[in-house]
Amino acid sequence: MGKLTAQAIVEQALEIGDTEGLDAVTIRRLATDLGVTPMALYWHFKNKEQLLVGMADHLISDFAPEPADDRSWQCRLRDLAEGLIRVLRRYPCAKNVLAQVDQAAVPSFLVVWDLALGLAREAGFSIEESCLISKYLLQSAIAIADAPVHFASGRTPEEVAELVRVKRLGLESLPADRYPNLVEMAGPMVEGMSPGFYDAFGVDLVLTGIETLAAARRP
């Protein structure tokens, strides 16, 4: 193969993470898959912690926030959330990667975070409130992107189907007199719903809360 690049390493690491789980991502495994010695990888990433940061940076790097324009902060904040969800949805292991790194060490995440903070300030929130708005918005986007795909990481379609079946049966088997709603809604709770509806409702839920709070602060 040609010259080994950091991008090639993190792309292979993400592929392993998506199909087998993050525990399978090791320097030795990557070296074997890429046909190089472990030392060749250490030139780019000295340890797994640095590798995970590189993976996190790569999985967000395809998200390019729209430049500032004359649209309202509400529209731009919605675009940010929806765009981040679309990008993260490509990687079943995305949430686990982001959970294992210091997100402040991920350059591409800092771009998104900074924009979210700026839009919260533009909406009229205080500095403290803006910190919380950005945190809740970004973590909600990560969770929304993860929900339809997290079962897939490290499992075959057949294994996923069996997990879903067992989980649904478990809820449906609960005492209906004590948990009537869980029993009734076990299907959609476990099997999910259309991605379009799932994403739109989740973003609406978060953004409506932010917009309502912002309106309450106007004189």
pLDDT of residue 149: 59
Q: Which two tokens stand for residue 201?
A: 């409702």
Residue ranges in the chain whose pLDDT is less than 70 = 1-2, 148-154, 219
pLDDT of residue 152: 58
| Residue in 38, 18, 35 with CA at minimum distance from that of residue 26 | 38
Question: How far is the C-alpha of 119 from the C-alpha of 134, rounded, in Å?
Answer: 9
pTM value is 0.85
φ, ψ (nearest 5 deg) of residue 107: -55, -45
pLDDT of residue 66: 74
| Residue in 142, 137, 135, 162 with CA at minimum distance from that of residue 151 | 162
Q: Which two tokens stand for residue 177?
A: 């007199």
Q: Which two tokens stand for residue 185?
A: 């809604």
pLDDT of residue 57: 96
pLDDT of residue 154: 62
pLDDT of residue 2: 57
Contact 88, 148 (CB under 8 A): no
* Tens-place pLDDT, residues 142-192: 999 987 655 555 677 788 788 889 999 999 999 999 999 999 999 888 887
